[in-house]
Amino acid sequence: MLTNNKNVLKWVDEMVALCKPANVVWIDGSEEQLKALREEAVSTGEMEELNSEKLPGCLLHRTDPTDVARVEDRTFICSNTKENAGPTNNWKDPEEMWAILEPMYDGVMDGKTMYVIPYSMGPIGSKMSKVGVEVTDSIYVVLNMDIMTRMGKDAFVHLGDTSNDFVRGLHAKADLDPEKRYICHFPEKNSICSINSGYGGNVLLGKKCFALRIASYQGKNEGWMAEHMLILGIENPQGEVKYICAAFPSACGKTNLAMLIPPEIYAKQGYKVWTVGDDIAWLRQGDDGRLWAINPENGFFGVAPGTNLKSNPNALHTTEKDTIFTNVVHNLDNDTVWWEGLDKNPPKHALDWKGNPWDGTTSTEKGAHPNSRFTAPARNCPCISKEFNNPQGVPISAIVFGGRRAKTAPLVYQSFDWDHGVFVGSIMASETTAAAAGAVGVVRRDPMAMLPFCGYHMGDYFAHWLEMGKKLGDKAPKIFNVNWFRTDDEGHFIWPGFGDNMRVLMWILDRCEGKADAVETAIGYEPKPEDINLEGLNIDLDTLKDLLTVDPQLWKEDADGIEAFYAKFGDKLPAKLREELNSLKDRLSK
């Protein structure tokens, strides 16, 4: 046992009595213990060791083919009342849910080992960090949690001997039956139950389950925010760094933006970009009144396909050692890994993500699962910020929202003020990409990119954002919206994206420092086209003007969509947001 904390000991005893494992192993986080676990996982075939020269310390794992992604339809927020979970979450009464879960957990670890994992989300000892304890029957979970969190006995030291403020996570793989898969959150009880899955997002309980769903609820009660945001720093040639948080729905390139490589024009002047986080930010008001952020995670759980030397060299280099690959192609010739979009040389002699023989030169089937992943330590990242472990976090100058919109949203605009910025975040949306030329896909609203991750009523969540704005007053970060995905009539992206997105971030920072002008439009402040630096780009001013156009007709239709979406929240929708919608409509019809 690694702690004298009675609350922890009592809960672990209860879990042992329920799951009835043959052994209990407390994870201290020592290299010795981890080494033994890696060896055990390799000996049972749960993981495979990769080429020790090309990929030192790297392991490969395959999940069950029916267990490859987060399962929103099996994810529940079991608040005491349905009202508290709100209209955008699946809800079940906590007792009813426990009546379903308890028999499934009863004896589920028979003959197996239960691992007790203490971990800290955020730097150990930071006032912004929180402790969790996960019990699991999976070594894969232990080894991933080691990369994704600060795992081990120090987390218990941080918790102390008497505190009850830790998130309890119970995970059992059981028999992976998709029909009996449950990912359940009990916000009022600070606890999470996951069963019948072995896939990262469902079982690494520190990540989406704790750091977003439970933490968003804690943040509302305790006056801070847990957000689905990357954090990056831009250093100017004088060595000053300004930090930006950005929220995008899944699959809009958050990891790429977080690790962007400055275009030549900025690099040669001495600008640098530093990554603090690629997925989650915890934000609190600091003693100086400003908003400060930490990344509660300690690694990256990134999507492998599409990651390459052009799209994200920093991510690729991060995965060159001490990384766990899940559901990618295993190149048998040199014991390395491959995925679609890595390079143009798929291996001939390989196993696909299901472990079947695969020849990348002839196969029409994908070798890697589209949601195959790398779990890589943040310390490996060539552009990791030196503030990554700073217990104070970093001060945030700007908050950026974004989505994938073919026509509606311009390249960038700034909200009129904080409240309008909350409105802008609340109407975030992405379109499913349609193949037909110029066709616009289905709009999926995803406020602040938190739709699948908010652990309570989203109407209350919007109110909490408005409340935070009141507290921050004139020290609040400025709020912006970007859209890298405008397309031309043939459906091609107009803006080059990737590193060139920095050109837009530079305007954003100039606005924060009062250094750039703006044009007032119906939807917010837009840059003067000449204020976005296009040097070295194949884009002329007219194209940029196109990227900045706001089509009132499209926006009126969008406003109707927002109206319908807002209706879901009933009287929990803050009146302020309805006012913002009405003002938008007024401005559009002028």
Positions that interact with ligand OXD (CB under 6 A): 70, 201, 250, 279
How many residues contact Mn ion, by CB under 5 A? 1
Which of Mn ion, ligand OXD, none does residue 322 bind (CB under 5 to 8 Å by kind)?
none
Contacts to Mn ion from residues 5-64, by CB under 5 A: none
Using an 8 Å Cβ cutoff, are 193 and 136 in contact? no
Q: What type of residue is 450?
A: M
Q: What type of residue is 90?
A: N
Tokens of 183: 């990912």
Nearer to ligand OXD, 229 or 383 (CB): 229
Nearer to Mn ion, 137 or 279 (CB): 279
Minimal distance, residue 554 CB to ligand OXD, in Å: 27
Phi-psi region of 420 (alpha: psi -120 to 50; beta: other; left: phi over 0): alpha
Minimal distance, residue 70 CB to ligand OXD, in Å: 6
Minimal distance, residue 278 CB to ligand OXD, in Å: 8
Which of ligand OXD, Mn ion, none does residue 201 bind (CB under 5 to 8 Å by kind)?
ligand OXD
Which of ligand OXD, Mn ion, none does residue 297 bind (CB under 5 to 8 Å by kind)?
none
Using an 8 Å Cβ cutoff, are 514 and 507 in contact? no
Q: Which stretch binds Mn ion (CB under 5 A): 122-130, 131-139, 277-285, 372-380?
A: 277-285
> Is the sign of the CA dihedral 218, 223, 228, 231 positive or negative?
negative
CA distances from 86 to 101, 271, 447, 451 (A): 22, 44, 14, 11
Which of Mn ion, ligand OXD, none does residue 529 bind (CB under 5 to 8 Å by kind)?
none
Q: Which residues of 80-96 are buried (b: 16+ CB within 10 A; e: fewer)?
A: eeeebbbebbebbebee
Establish if 279 lies at the interface with Mn ion (CB under 5 A): yes
Number of H helices, E strands in the chain: 17, 31
Nearer to ligand OXD, 215 or 559 (CB): 215
Nearer to ligand OXD, 116 or 448 (CB): 448
CA distances from 267 to 43, 261, 270, 275, 495 (A): 47, 8, 5, 16, 20
Specify the 3-state DSSP secondary structure of 341.
Answer: coil
Nearer to ligand OXD, 230 or 443 (CB): 230
Nearer to Mn ion, 279 or 340 (CB): 279
381 is catalytic: no
Nearest residue (beta carbon) to ligand OXD: 250
Nearer to ligand OXD, 21 or 201 (CB): 201
Nearest to 278 by CA among 293, 258, 299: 258
DSSP state of 334: T
Which of ligand OXD, Mn ion, none does residue 464 bind (CB under 5 to 8 Å by kind)?
none
Q: Which stretch binds Mn ion (CB under 5 A): 54-62, 93-101, 232-240, 273-281?
A: 273-281
In the beta sheet, which residues pair with residue 172? 195
Which of ligand OXD, Mn ion, none does residue 169 bind (CB under 5 to 8 Å by kind)?
none
Which of Mn ion, ligand OXD, none does residue 583 bind (CB under 5 to 8 Å by kind)?
none
Minimal distance, residue 255 CB to Mn ion, in Å: 9
Minimal distance, residue 251 CB to ligand OXD, in Å: 8
CA contacts within 13 A on the Cβ side of 309: 2
Minimal distance, residue 442 CB to ligand OXD, in Å: 18
Minimal distance, residue 228 CB to Mn ion, in Å: 6
Minimal distance, residue 72 CB to Mn ion, in Å: 13
139 alpha-carbon distance from chain centroid: 23
Which of ligand OXD, Mn ion, none does residue 92 bind (CB under 5 to 8 Å by kind)?
none
Q: At what angle do helices 94-105 and 6-19 cross, to 10 degrees?
A: 60
Q: What's the rounded Cα separation, in Å, for the pair 572 and 460?
A: 6
Give 219-283 as a DSSP string: HHHHT-EEESEEEEEEE-TTS-EEEEEEE--TTS-HHHHHTPPPPHHHHTTT-EEEEEESS-EEE
Q: Which stretch binds Mn ion (CB under 5 A): 213-221, 274-282, 485-493, 573-581?
A: 274-282
Nearer to Mn ion, 38 or 208 (CB): 208
Establish if 278 lies at the interface with Mn ion (CB under 5 A): no
Q: Which of 252, 383, 454, 512 is catalytic?
A: 252
Q: What type of residue is 548?
A: L
Residues lying near Mn ion in the complex (CB under 5 A) are found at: 279
Q: Which residues are catalytic?
A: 252
